[in-house]
Amino acid sequence: MRPRSVSILGSTGSVGTSTVSLLARGGYIVEALTANNNIALLVEQARLLQPKFVALAAEECLGQLKEALAGTGIEVGAGPRALVEAASRPADWVMAAIVGAAGLAPTLAAIRRGAIVALANKEVLVCAGDIVMAEVAAHGATLLPVDSEHNAIFQVFESRNRDAVDRIILTASGGPFREFDVKRMAAVTPAQAVAHPNWVMGRKISIDSATMMNKGLELIEAHHLFGMPEPKIEVLLHPQSVVHSLVAYVDGSVLAQLGAPDMRTPIAYTLAWPERLSFPARRLDLAALGGLTFFLPDESRFPALRLARQALQGGRAAPTILNAANEVAVEGFMAGRIGFLDIARTVEETLAATDHTPLATLDDVLEVDAIARRAARAFVGA
């Protein structure tokens, strides 16, 4: 059996670097790597994995990339078209880890090839879930969730016995501010918000975890991945991040997937699927843990969860608007233009100010995304 060929869209982010560490163990043909603008790390990864093609989102960096990889025989490109070209290369397995709505077009390109797509970009399904899932079905692609929560559900979800599923339960650490009152959260700084207590993640997803918008986006993503209606998707706070999610069945059984908080585990699951990959992850020691705790989230302190549920209930363009406004608000918070509590407030105001039109095509999604971003930027003063 020939080695599996792979590509990583977003190889220099937290998920991308974890994926590179698994591929570096050998046994894979690497077709393509992409990054936003981290030339130094992309070049280092390219020299390690010897892909056939590398691409940067930042077109102005193309000359530097060419110079850095001169003589290696590796093809290079830059700009949005180059990212789509990377996704279109004939890899069996594609890690879709480009952060935000920017990952939508490249991920769709991989899906339209009928590839196995390991989806680490939740915004793809949030922005265009119905369109993406229709493309998956039309092209015979396989969509494997990489988020630890959705990956956990995937592992214990009886897809052939869907009618027996009563509900799915997403767990959340609660982020660094799960015990903060509103007054304390109002004074939170970006440095505090990116310091996640359990996971090593990128800045944007760390802030989303702190506001719990991350869990709201995951709720919408779970709806599309598993075909579950919004009332049957629950969220539980679980500070230890050991039980990654659960599926409850009509006979009273509840199945859970457990593991140490290490993103390499769900990545390895998708990389080897339908087999399993042996690698030296930290093993879970339940006796050493001593106890696991769970409690309900407080949506009065974390309104992002409420907003995500409302967007999913409303459908049409609402989830796309939610995501676009959140990306702009997080950027505004990181730049010091708005406070931590203003992130959810900006999303709510943008949802109220933007028309929730139906979405039938990728162009429709991109148009609404652009409109929502303009509205959100007005609210944050950008």
| Edge-first strand listing for the sheet containing 165-172 | 233-237, 165-172, 243-249, 254-258
**pLDDT band for position 282 (50/70/90)?**
confident
Distance of alpha carbon 80 from its chain centroid, rounded? Answer: 19
* Residue 201 zone, left/alpha/beta (φ > 0; ψ -120 to 50; rest): beta
Structure tokens at 333: 């918070």
Q: pLDDT tens digit string along 89-107?
A: 999 999 999 987 789 999 9
pLDDT at 200: 59
Least confident of 198-212, 254-268, 273-287, 307-321: 198-212
Percent of the chain with pLDDT over 70: 98
For the domain made up of 315-382, give the CATH fold.
Rna Polymerase Sigma Factor; Chain: A (1.10.1740)
- Banded model confidence at residue 198, pLDDT cuts 50, 70, 90: low
Distance set, CA 13 to CA 254, 263, 266, 300, 327 (Å): 34, 12, 16, 32, 17
Report the pLDDT value the prediction gives residue 88, as an integer from 0 to 100. 97
Query: Given a cut of 60, is residue 199 above it in pLDDT?
Result: no
Q: Residue 154: left (phi > 0), alpha (psi -120 to 50), or beta?
A: alpha
Tokens (6 digits) for 293: 């705790």
CATH class, domain 5-145, is alpha beta
| Joined tokens for residue 151 | 């990956």
Domain boundaries, the chain: 5-145, 150-261+290-300, 315-382
- Residue 106 sits at the vertex; the CA angle it makes with 57 and 279, to the nearest 5 degrees, is 95
Per-residue pLDDT of 29-59, as tens digits, reads: 999 999 999 999 999 999 999 999 999 999 9
Average pLDDT, the chain: 93
| Predicted local distance difference test score (pLDDT) of residue 48 | 97
Percent of the chain topping pLDDT 90 = 84
Task: Give 231's DSSP letter.
Answer: G
Helix H or strand E segment including 42: helix 39-49
Is the pLDDT score of 197 beyond 70? no
> What SS3 state is found at 11?
coil
- Predicted model pTM: 0.92
